Structure 1
């Protein structure tokens, strides 16, 4: 096994750079900066041109204190050099890359590098670097830039995901304020559904921890492990992340179709029908058989009708027998979602209302649609989207409304949307701001292709119809957390300063063929916090460079500063003040 060979964790072109710098170079400084938000999938109503800085401590512990120590500094010198030389020789040609610098580094016994950074959880302005790299030994200036590829690959995405998660939190906080929904619910309203669509488990756990900076709802189990391993979290003492029992399509479709087959045999064998009902006494089973006999007869034993009955019985089992207390989420679009949300939800109303709370006082059945347009599924249509006749009334075709833009015919349930359908059945309460909040025995979660614009539109429509924001939970998946790139926020590492012999050189790039995005900072820099912003000062003196908000966090193989998940969460939450309700144009 090759495993992770520390100095192989790079592009090939980086391996030649140590020898390309002027021979007299003794110091090299580089920074890592989010250069642009022009491709960021954010809401301009909320976005304030900042990113959430996150992932550095995890990187340092995992790589600089982990992989580099085990596989290089603590490994026999000959073996450490052999693995590196073999890869260079087979790919670039024999002796194309000398190993003398690595041999000297192994003899030194530590990584002569200092990282200065802003605290994690800081929201830093675009074009302001949250971290800089400085070599600490004159013989090894190249270490400041050699790790560009590794560092970029490991850091751009956790910060990007953490930023998008916080943008979701901003949106949900604003609408909670607007509609009077409980602020504590916002912690759970963004739920991480992204793991299966991420670029591997390591990616999922790091980015899943980025999500946990803003929310506690997650289905990414290893993100909680990562937070404990690298960010001082302790699930025994604090709420790191949590979820609820939930079905998936394989469970629902198997049970529905299995029950359908048994119900179908009930045409000639009532005992087979009773066998489909678990945990009933003889008298209860007999009553159920009689009830189903009548309903089966009404279906004419057609598959669609039988399937609807089967789905109802499966959901009944879930909410009364499998999970008679606490919270449970049921995927509801395996066949006919609108039948579930309008007919089955009504027929099982007494069963759902009778469910017992768990130790936390929770007893909610959460319906989960998983296909279609999430905006319309949850929040329905605005009246302005529906076609009207000459007399101003809604145009109807075969009892259905007509959508003006598409001529699509929709049912009354589709027009209302899921929240209003459940309200019509279960009712609920009103917030102090006069918005309707569903009975706490029922709720909705949608986790298919949720983006910030879609979440905004759902919140807007619900508020316009008089519903509080807390009636829905969003499953934020890989559609949002993995359809990203390093260019989403323009992350890049660039050298900015060097000392060559007795000369000081301010390094920068400013391509004439670029729009200014790639123009880099020039010379030594200082970052100061001014009000709520971080401001970059360029071409600083060495003394000025040692000041400001960028503080040493790693030096010569040692982690100098540690921070916890709890501290990062607190820092991040305090970094933003929600606009006044109604202050944003919707």
Structure 2
């Protein structure tokens, strides 16, 4: 699955025969069109694609394989074009990609990148890579945008109820999505996207991808945590012993341990074991016990758990008038969490007088899998053609049946206007104003972005 020539839709193999004969250069751009999910998007994911896909040269063996497949598959094959790429360009695609810096928050409808061929013999090339390129960016951009929107909700709750917004926020939403995605690559790209916004993750593919593609030494953190298999293997009659073992095995200065507590009877476990027979042991630890409900109503169940812990362990009232549990106990809610239920749980906590300090949130499939290309209405469209005489002419579509699917005409630029990024025609501005910068040309990565700068940019 590493042959770039075959990382496209079958019908694109015939497109080299379809462009007008005067075409020399085609320009194409990618954007998240106006959509119902988010007015703004967090752009991410181009650099991994450049490194892993465009950074690997096409070989004669790739061309031979692709020709055999396409011939048997029933579609034309551009042998002459691909032979020229291998012979004249060392196998690297003769294209230039200009893009916004990753981590940029851009309004929907603003081009995130633009592609042109640099060899006039190959005007078919920019749109040929649409499938692989669009797939590379729509997913991490959508996950990153979802995580970013969750961050805004949680931040607002902390700002209303917490004395420590900056210290709390980075660890308030934890990624548990690795098992729920379609592939390890999805876990890596989605995991990276979440880590732009938060520092809590159990998706090791995302940690490693942030290290490989963006130079992050350690982008996220986790803690020892129980699952039902480790708790129920003790048997119901030894539920207390299972919990006590967790406290003993992971004791230490500042050590946090999370324990799923709904294997049998959550309310009894919280009131009678954690807040009863093990109460003193919990209070005598140097670290924090995080109780995890994992069933029941995703809003009222964790709220009830917080209330019970308050009754059993007490706490303090902060300067904003909200209750904060004793630092030895906290709650994490992962079951049933999505952007809507997180917002409702934040509101209910505040309604009941509890600071958001008391709870953390987890998301699995809802974070990394329950998105698709249409969530942000991603598209890549040709927007200009340069002919044999060197003249640019507009290329665009404007379907009468759905005006929202109309595309932009003319080579695009992005400028900052009144503090917002907006799309304009490149020929209407001084090119120095353009926020789309060349990041890739003819096999060379021109700008390598670090993870910290991407995180900082997303906060700007």
TM-score range, shorter chain: over 0.9
Question: How far 1:312 sits from its partner (Å)?
Answer: 1.7
Q: Which residue of 1 aligns with 2:241?
A: 313
Alignment of 1:106-505 (within 5 A): 106-109=86-89, 110-183=92-165, 184-235=167-218, 240-255=219-234, 257=235, 307=236, 309-319=237-247, 321-325=248-252, 326-347=255-276, 348-356=278-286, 363-379=287-303, 417-502=304-389, 503-505=391-393
Question: In the alignment, does 2:434 pair up with 1:551?
Answer: no
Question: How far 1:517 sits from its partner (Å)?
Answer: 2.2
The CA distance in 1 between the partners of 2:34 and 2:418, in whole Å, is 22
Alignment of 1:568-583 (within 5 A): 568-574=454-460
Match of 2:399 among 502, 511, 520: 511
The CA distance in 2 between the partners of 1:25 and 1:151, in whole Å, is 22
1:342-364 C-alpha deviation (Å, 9 max, x unpaired) = 211221110100113xxxxxx01
The CA distance in 2 between the partners of 1:32 and 1:530, in whole Å, is 20
The CA distance in 2 between the partners of 1:352 and 1:37, in whole Å, is 48
Q: Give the CA RMSD over aligned residues.
A: 1.5
Contact 2:162 2:357 in 1 (8 A): no
DSSP-derived class of the 2:24 partner: strand
1:62-87 C-alpha deviation (Å, 9 max, x unpaired) = 11113xx2xx1xx3x3x232111011
Question: How far 1:252 sits from its partner (Å)?
Answer: 0.8
Question: How far 1:137 sits from its partner (Å)?
Answer: 1.7
Contact 2:5 2:62 in 1 (8 A): no
Contact 2:322 2:355 in 1 (8 A): yes
Structure 1: gaps (5+ residues): 41-46, 258-306, 357-362, 380-416, 575-586
Larger Rg computed on CA atoms: 1
1:365-397 C-alpha deviation (Å, 9 max, x unpaired) = 111111122111122xxxxxxxxxxxxxxxxxx
Q: Which residue of 1 aligns with 2:79?
A: 99
The CA distance in 2 between the partners of 1:144 and 1:558, in whole Å, is 16
Q: How many residues align?
A: 453
1:265-305 C-alpha deviation (Å, 9 max, x unpaired) = xxxxxxxxxxxxxxxxxxxxxxxxxxxxxxxxxxxxxxxxx
Moved more, 339-348 or 113-122: 339-348
1:397-453 C-alpha deviation (Å, 9 max, x unpaired) = xxxxxxxxxxxxxxxxxxxx1111111111112221111111111111111121111
DSSP-derived class of the 2:149 partner: helix
Contact 1:331 1:368 in 2 (8 A): yes
Question: How far 1:543 sits from its partner (Å)?
Answer: 6.9
The CA distance in 2 between the partners of 1:441 and 1:6, in whole Å, is 53
DSSP-derived class of the 1:488 partner: coil
The CA distance in 2 between the partners of 1:121 and 1:232, in whole Å, is 15
The CA distance in 2 between the partners of 1:116 and 1:159, in whole Å, is 17
The CA distance in 2 between the partners of 1:14 and 1:123, in whole Å, is 31
Question: How far 1:36 sits from its partner (Å)?
Answer: 2.4
Contact 1:181 1:469 in 2 (8 A): no
The CA distance in 2 between the partners of 1:545 and 1:59, in whole Å, is 26
1:314-361 C-alpha deviation (Å, 9 max, x unpaired) = 212221x222331111111111111111211221110100113xxxxx
The CA distance in 2 between the partners of 1:481 and 1:80, in whole Å, is 32
Question: How far 1:244 sits from its partner (Å)?
Answer: 0.3
Contact 2:175 2:191 in 1 (8 A): yes
DSSP-derived class of the 2:290 partner: strand
Q: Which residue of 2 aligns with 1:58?
A: 48
Question: How far 1:500 sits from its partner (Å)?
Answer: 2.5
Moved more, 497-506 or 468-477: 497-506
1:87-133 C-alpha deviation (Å, 9 max, x unpaired) = 1011116xx32411111111112321111111110001111111000
DSSP-derived class of the 1:536 partner: strand
DSSP-derived class of the 1:486 partner: coil
Q: Which residue of 2 aligns with 1:4?
A: 2
Structure 2: gaps (5+ residues): none
Distance 1:341 1:532, change over 3 A: farther
Question: In the alignment, does 2:35 pair up with 1:37?
Answer: yes
Q: Which residue of 2 aligns with 1:532?
A: 419
Q: Which residue of 1 aligns with 2:408?
A: 521
Moved more, 469-478 or 498-507: 498-507
